[in-house]
Structure 1
């Protein structure tokens, strides 16, 4: 039986090993002869420095070569492979550098998009319970701004100059309490100011005395199906529409409820636990047609302003018009927006919104974008006229405009009765405005009350016989209004950071992994090959 021959050793391997040993001996001998030479001091120092730099460069290139051969990054291994041509290695070097530039560019684009859109608002739930949302404020403003009976009674008691008649005074009432349209002659204003001074009256006191009373306009009130005294629900407030009656309003610094029932007033807005008109607010309104004295409308009725309980009622509110001999159903579909804790911890210049307690306003209790814009318009009017109109919110520190400033109020009404003061500017200027007026920022958390209404003819005899209501009125011009939530569920939005640290890490890792195959382990490999491994090699060679 023949046995297969087997080599004891390979001659080529022995020869290569011998050549390696000879090279090491030559290197050691050269180092020893260099050590015995005695060059100059500066030349030896320069030589040692260059030698160390050469060693560092050799270690760096060797570590980088080893890293390219062992790393899992795409394309790096082809740069140092010896079994391919130089042209192929240059091609792969170009591909790797292009991939690095592309990945860095995409990461920078992602970071820029994150800076441009730091926050995002998404729908969290379409089944958010409505009992977690406060009931809106309902402000009722009569078409009639001046009570005829009060005006006639006041005319009889006022002292007038010899050349002024009651008819002339009646015209002056309309001019001063309804400042709209053309300006008034200075002669008429001076005369009317003289009349008020004779009777020790100011324009604010006159407006309060001549405005219709809430208890006369609102006959009956039902809240959550329970017959309630209207004076404990509604208070008189001053708005851009004049004096109105507001329910569930907590925007002012103080309330106007009677002192005897002040303890019954809640400290926070009302809430409801159901939907439908039996669970909301129902009021029977009397337009007092016979008491009409001055109005902007051709009919008889009221304006309903539905707004947030802490917001000033202005043109931003949901507005509904109810007319006489009608029954109106106002259905509200609330929407709530809240911000996460990360938003609150976020820098103000990035989140670009404010919470209600982060800034104080002069005449209103809580910050909101609508309240801030209202006070912004008031400051503009204050700078122009030096005073505020008599029928806007005032904390008592600003001068109230009198009769002599009426023309200035009429000319500047564009400022305090509009959302923006530059409505007459081109749309391109308004659209490209970089900041809000008066540094007013949007709300981080808010409640929006979207409403819709239906109405029909009111049958007083049928209304008085309903089980849910004990309304009864002898007036044929009465108005029955129901304000309620239309559903038990609502939509809730969540404002959150567009990219937090975890999502940013995932985004950057996805981009780098898609193009380069980059990961946390490859980053550690890069640090290892450029720091720890050269240090260990240097220590090992020094010991040898």
Structure 2
């Protein structure tokens, strides 16, 4: 056995860089992250042969390659994790299909609004022009002809210069007779009574007088009749006996289980319409939405039976959504924002209010059909030029004005509209059939004493017993982050919870403890704790060659001497 007993001078204090490299190599040896252990592969000593020196170069090259591979993996993992987090931060809320088997009785039945395609009744216009008080320079025939294009006041079809001039004269006549625009269109509408258009009504296989379940409402300038409508708190509501505090619901499906109506059309009374057709418009929308041309609409022509199948959908939110600001979740709750005198907030109602605000700011008036009458001055025919500039922005260029004036007119004061967080949707499927006058219908009381000429039958019902239920949930939570980030780190680095615990344990306890030891104890004692007694270097390979490292066998002499030493220690103690 050969032992070198060379007394070494005190080692120099390790630089910070060398200390970090040393600790990193220690971490590479102990961690189970992919590739790190190959960076710390054991090298051969410098006293080896030439062949072993060549092997040393190969090992050094392999360590460099593995170090580069690990570095690239760490960079890629960091890039993917940051990209995923940014995506989650931009989209903190996700909407998913929770079930396609939701119960339909959890979804309110939609509002059904029926409008005649004929906006001005010929008989009503003739009676109005005959009975109204006129100035000396205006005739009843002029009034009768002018009433034909009166609906252009709030139409996307703009009037020409001669029509505008005539409408101004019509407004002078209305002012002379102290008549409002709303009263004018009520008098001229063919639906001054709902029974004029809706001849028979059946709800859940029970016959009702149509006035009992339908009420009047303006859809633009067109006076219509609506069923199950709850958008506005109306103290003058026409329905008294059969009005419920909340929208109606159904617990069954099929065309005979909900609303069925018979509509009648009078072609001889048509005087002003924007459709090249006869019949009625049927709007199907949320009971808390104001019906307008933005709502889902279907047409019912004479001599047809229309089957409107509703496929209800419900979207609800989890409790965690409310912790986000409205701008972050990009939606409002129904009771979070109050719009005019609407019962609940909805994106549909908000956009209707926004249009009115634009009219108010541009023309200083509001449409007569807007639910809140005290919102401002009611627009009349004297405002038609301004109204057309708002409804048809292309007209601004015709008048030589800047097209951006309307768009940039203090938009910050307009209501900010966002979708509802929780809402009901009603996609529609429509089937059509032709009515026949020769089919016997005496067995059905619904068709008693009904002549099917110029009639149409409209059925609105739920198509199935189940509804689709959507859930809006928080996507940026600890479960999703753990799953997403854990998957990325595991793919790129083989990261696990155990390796993470080892990382924290090593760098938070061992490295800190070693650093404190170097600071207070000194490098000499710190290094001696790892190298043995100072001044002795053992050539292990040489010792192995001489079999010095083998465990020595105890002899009987050794046992006697050991007992003697124990006895002496015991005697000295006392």
Q: Which TM-score band applies after superposition, normalised by the shorter structure? A: 0.7 to 0.9
Could you tell me which residue of structure 1 aligns to residue 250 of structure 2?
A: 272
Alpha-carbon spacing, 1:71–1:270, altered in 2? closer, same or farther (3 Å): same
Alpha-carbon spacing, 1:256–1:71, altered in 2? closer, same or farther (3 Å): same
Alpha-carbon spacing, 1:60–1:148, altered in 2? closer, same or farther (3 Å): same
Structure 2 residue corresponding to 1:90, chosen from 64, 68, 79: 64
Structure 2 residue corresponding to 1:327, chosen from 297, 301, 305: 305
Could you tell me which residue of structure 2 aligns to residue 140 of structure 1?
A: 114
Structure 1 window deviating more from structure 2 (110-119 vs 401-410): it is 110-119
Aligned partner of residue 249 in structure 1, secondary structure: coil
Aligned-pair CA distance for 1:235: 1.2
Alpha-carbon spacing, 1:379–1:506, altered in 2? closer, same or farther (3 Å): same
Structure 2 residue corresponding to 1:65, chosen from 14, 25, 30: 25
Aligned-pair CA distance for 1:140: 0.5
Could you tell me which residue of structure 1 aligns to residue 432 of structure 2?
A: 455
Q: Deviations over 1:127-174 (max 9, x none)?
A: 222222211111101112123343333334321112222111112222
> Does structure 1 residue 524 correspond to structure 2 residue 501?
yes
C-alpha contact (below 8 Å) 2:306/2:457 kept by paired residues: yes
Could you tell me which residue of structure 1 aligns to residue 132 of structure 2?
A: 158
Could you tell me which residue of structure 2 aligns to residue 34 of structure 1?
A: none
Alpha-carbon spacing, 1:105–1:159, altered in 2? closer, same or farther (3 Å): same
Alpha-carbon spacing, 1:496–1:438, altered in 2? closer, same or farther (3 Å): same
C-alpha contact (below 8 Å) 1:183/1:407 kept by paired residues: no
Could you tell me which residue of structure 2 aligns to residue 441 of structure 1?
A: 418
> Does structure 1 residue 223 correspond to structure 2 residue 203?
yes
Unaligned runs of 5+ in 1: 1-10, 31-49, 417-424, 426-434
Q: In structure 2, how many angstroms separate the alpha carbons of the residues matched to 1:88 and 1:453?
A: 71
Could you tell me which residue of structure 1 aligns to residue 464 of structure 2?
A: 487
Structure 1 window deviating more from structure 2 (458-467 vs 120-129): it is 458-467
C-alpha contact (below 8 Å) 1:362/1:395 kept by paired residues: no
Could you tell me which residue of structure 1 aligns to residue 213 of structure 2?
A: 233
Structure 1 window deviating more from structure 2 (133-142 vs 74-83): it is 74-83
Q: In structure 1, how many angstroms separate the alpha carbons of the residues matched to 2:257 and 2:96?
A: 30
Q: In structure 1, how many angstroms separate the alpha carbons of the residues matched to 2:434 and 2:161?
A: 41
Could you tell me which residue of structure 1 aligns to residue 73 of structure 2?
A: 99
C-alpha contact (below 8 Å) 2:149/2:272 kept by paired residues: no
Q: Deviations over 1:264-319 (max 9, x none)?
A: 41122211111111111011222244443322334432111111212222233222
Structure 1 window deviating more from structure 2 (440-449 vs 505-514): it is 440-449
C-alpha contact (below 8 Å) 1:463/1:472 kept by paired residues: no
For 1:73-472, what aligned pairs fall within 5 Å after superposition?
A: 73-83=33-43, 85-179=59-153, 180-185=157-162, 187-211=165-189, 212=191, 213-240=193-220, 242-254=222-234, 256-258=236-238, 261-262=239-240, 264-362=242-340, 364-414=342-392, 439-459=416-436, 462=439, 464-467=441-444, 469=446, 471-472=448-449
Q: In structure 1, how many angstroms separate the alpha carbons of the residues matched to 2:385 and 2:160?
A: 5
Q: Deviations over 1:163-206 (max 9, x none)?
A: 22211111222232344442344643443222112211111221
Q: In structure 1, how many angstroms separate the alpha carbons of the residues matched to 2:224 and 2:235?
A: 13
Q: In structure 1, how many angstroms separate the alpha carbons of the residues matched to 2:250 and 2:393?
A: 37
Aligned-pair CA distance for 1:217: 1.8
CA RMSD in angstroms comes to 3.2
Structure 1 window deviating more from structure 2 (358-367 vs 399-408): it is 358-367
Structure 2 residue corresponding to 1:511, chosen from 480, 488, 507: 488
Structure 1 window deviating more from structure 2 (522-531 vs 400-409): it is 522-531
Q: Deviations over 1:30-58 (max 9, x none)?
A: 9xxxxxxxxxxxxxxxxxxx96xx58777
C-alpha contact (below 8 Å) 2:308/2:459 kept by paired residues: yes
Alpha-carbon spacing, 1:406–1:464, altered in 2? closer, same or farther (3 Å): farther
Aligned partner of residue 342 in structure 1, secondary structure: helix
Q: In structure 2, how many angstroms separate the alpha carbons of the residues matched to 1:391 and 1:184?
A: 25
Aligned-pair CA distance for 1:226: 0.8
How many positions carry a matched residue from both structures? Answer: 485
Aligned-pair CA distance for 1:438: 5.7
Structure 1 window deviating more from structure 2 (360-369 vs 221-230): it is 360-369
Q: In structure 2, how many angstroms separate the alpha carbons of the residues matched to 1:500 and 1:466?
A: 61
C-alpha contact (below 8 Å) 2:309/2:430 kept by paired residues: yes
TM (norm. structure 1) is 0.80
Could you tell me which residue of structure 1 aligns to residue 565 of structure 2?
A: none
Unaligned runs of 5+ in 2: 44-55, 395-402, 404-411, 526-574
Q: In structure 2, how many angstroms separate the alpha carbons of the residues matched to 1:74 and 1:166?
A: 94
Alpha-carbon spacing, 1:472–1:451, altered in 2? closer, same or farther (3 Å): farther
Aligned partner of residue 374 in structure 1, secondary structure: helix
Aligned partner of residue 358 in structure 1, secondary structure: coil
